[in-house]
Amino acid sequence: MLVAGCAPLGWVSETTWDPVTGKRTTVRLSEYFESKNMIAGGNLQAHLIVTLGRERVPKGYKLEKKINRFASEIEEVTEIYFTNKSAQPVTISNMVLRAQVPKLDILPSTITVAPGKWVKSDPIVRTTSVYRHDIDSVLHYEYKGEKYEAALPQIRTPVSELKRKQTTNHE
């Protein structure tokens, strides 16, 4: 993969060679990473969204360190939307999101989601690089007294896909 450039919004271009045609393919990538997985016995959909830039940084939030824009540093906000797909309330607890970094991100200790409703985790804010790549992450949680884990890989969304998605729709 070759990174060809970036825009102020956190967009970058990814250029790869197609092994079949031998031609270069360039895809413009957005400032969003995401993935979805069904958890809690198939009752909850976990929709992970990571946003690069200031868009989702909570109002009044102060980063621990100053952003060095010339070093391609940018804000990163990680949130998980939990949508109840069942007819009963669903409770999960002791959630930890583990990614390819030594830090563990602790989400709210317990959430209960009413049938047909959704709940958003507290935002996890840190700094990263605008050139950041996809990251494997795993959600560890407890459901009905048992421990579980679910893969939530942070996959960068192509700009071409943004028009087909609605940010408020977590289906």
Give the tens place of pLDDT for each residue, 15-55: 778 888 888 888 888 899 999 999 999 999 999 999 998 89
Q: How confident is the model at residue 108 (pLDDT cuts 50, 70, 90)?
A: confident
Q: How confident is the model at residue 81 (pLDDT cuts 50, 70, 90)?
A: very high
**Structurally, how many domains does the chain consist of?**
1
* Contact (Cβ atoms closer than 8 angstroms) between residue 105 and residue 53: no
| Domain harbouring 83, CATH code | 2.60.40.1230
Residue 75, in any domain of the structure:
yes
pTM confidence score: 0.82
Q: Cβ-count burial of 23 within 10 angstroms (0-12 exposed, 13-18 middle, 19+ buried)?
A: exposed
Residue 119, in any domain of the structure:
yes
Percent of the chain exceeding pLDDT 90 equals 45
- What pLDDT is attached to residue 101? 65
| CA separation for the pair 119, 114 (Å, rounded) | 9
Residue 115, in any domain of the structure:
yes
